[in-house]
Structure 1
């Protein structure tokens, strides 16, 4: 069984409790707030260094604040920096959305009575502020911990050990889900199993100590860890919280009943996609004045880029023989089919396989998916073409 990247797929011990990280693992706060530090530094004539910020990922705010002030030689103390920048982050928190698969897993564990905790290096009051915008989260988590409630934050194991203690669980029977290297280090130091869903998708080699490395929580399989399996797949298709992308088509390439589109995604649209969204999806595509079509969408990474650059490759299902160039494209992604292979994830040679098209085609005829075509996100259009919903 391929559990994504490198991993030890079968747990050696039965997992009885789960501990989640917050930022970048369950909540897309890092995308929602991504320009805050950059804009803040610009006020002081400084330029953000992405490598330094990647290395700060997951660390305590107090520690990060001190190192930011030092690294950028800001004319502020760490406390002054924090007081000045935190309100800018708080303004963005309401925009943060649950990462793909997070709500699904949280509600699944709650349904089956599996205790689960939230353990973040953020201050407890900031944790509460962030999750207050997510329906039900405050009530669903068995335990909520902030970094200021333990002696030392991650990479120290303190916060995970305290979470386990409050849940009445042994550390050896706990599974941690993390996105940062410091979080993985802390979980291993606590003697716990850990699944990494990296916020640094092009640097998975840094997560080699994790028991499993996934591209998305949609790939998570509870039964591997002795937890109750999901039961929400419908004919090999998984309903998901909708994703929306807009772009311009540069060309269309008809192949075997599926027209591959090369698109330039709208910057604000593609930037709204989480980093942890790799996989094969399906949904609806509105193509300019041509109508609304069924579509399979592969999302992966540009292997030739030094930074994490998302590649979106839609394929209209059905015969479509018209020349396409410069057309506006709207993608409403409503379901998930599978993870990409290691080779496909770099999208150097992704080619939608017949099974993907068949699953998407059949699923989009089901009421639970076909009804989504009327979403207000897709402008009204006259549906036509053999790949279109009839």
Structure 2
């Protein structure tokens, strides 16, 4: 069998970070005097920080900050996010079991995330520490692509296309596991099938464009993912 690839989003897919991100955005909003509603948060969850910060100010009727200020605000938000995650690391149930099963069946694995590199490294480090607790033997991902690796974030396909390139696999031999509509659109624009995990804060309706929707990672297996890929 030809090699197959599974490209995982991280936030909301392998790690249940929705609540931590929302709290961090709310804290940032309070610091600049702009309330962050749940509707606003969910509308932009899964996108890069810069366009979220721009929209936050513009929708409040204020001029968007310059790039340096925007970067400083993003750093403040992510510092707060990592503190919240570290307090109680919310790994998704079934994560290690699925990754181990895919490795055992010779799949090549990648992370394709809009998150900053520092967040991805931080969460993968916490995942690594948990391996012995869960008795898992998961090996490192074959490729890691973050928001800083590409010029355009989701829903553009760049993150997933770069992940496939680093895996040295054609796009149509890869399947994406996502949790948000921008990621689903990005996967399809990359020519890949997409599984949507209906995790915290999402509804089946907003994920309807996915090729398969599941509620838990333990609903997935190498065989089920392989069945989505048309070679």
TM-score normalized by the length of structure 2: 0.82
Q: In the aligned structure 2, how far is the partner of 1:162 from the partner of 1:39?
A: 33
Matches within 5 A, 1:46-195: 46-72=34-60, 77-94=69-86, 95-135=88-128, 139-195=139-195
CA offset digits 1:174-213 (Å, max 9, x no partner): 1100001000000000110110013466631122221101
Q: 1:171·1:191 contact (CA, 8 Å) conserved in 2?
A: yes
Between stretches 155-164 and 87-96, larger displacement belongs to 87-96
CA offset digits 1:17-76 (Å, max 9, x no partner): 100000000012223343222233234444321111111011112222222233345785
Q: 2:12·2:200 contact (CA, 8 Å) conserved in 1?
A: no
Distance 1:66 1:205, change over 3 A: same
Q: 1:15·1:225 contact (CA, 8 Å) conserved in 2?
A: no
Higher Rg of the two aligned structures: 1
Q: Which residue of 1 aligns with 2:214?
A: 214
Query: 1:196 aligns to what SS in structure 2?
Result: strand
Distance 1:55 1:19, change over 3 A: same
Q: 2:9·2:179 contact (CA, 8 Å) conserved in 1?
A: yes
Q: CA RMSD in A?
A: 2.5
Deviation for aligned residue 1:120: 0.4
Deviation for aligned residue 1:15: 7.5
Q: 2:3·2:169 contact (CA, 8 Å) conserved in 1?
A: no
Between stretches 94-103 and 142-151, larger displacement belongs to 94-103
Q: 2:3·2:106 contact (CA, 8 Å) conserved in 1?
A: no
Q: 1:31·1:96 contact (CA, 8 Å) conserved in 2?
A: no
Unaligned stretches of 5+ residues in structure 2 = 132-137
Q: Which residue of 1 aligns with 2:135?
A: none
Deviation for aligned residue 1:135: 1.5
TM-score normalized by the length of structure 1: 0.51
Greater helix content: 2
Q: Which has the higher contact order (CA 8 A, sep 6+)?
A: 2
Deviation for aligned residue 1:214: 0.8
Q: 1:20·1:118 contact (CA, 8 Å) conserved in 2?
A: yes
Query: 2:224 aligns to what SS in structure 1?
Result: helix
Q: 2:199·2:215 contact (CA, 8 Å) conserved in 1?
A: no
**Number of aligned pairs?**
215
Unaligned stretches of 5+ residues in structure 1 = 1-13, 228-390
Q: 2:17·2:85 contact (CA, 8 Å) conserved in 1?
A: yes
Query: 2:153 aligns to what SS in structure 1?
Result: coil
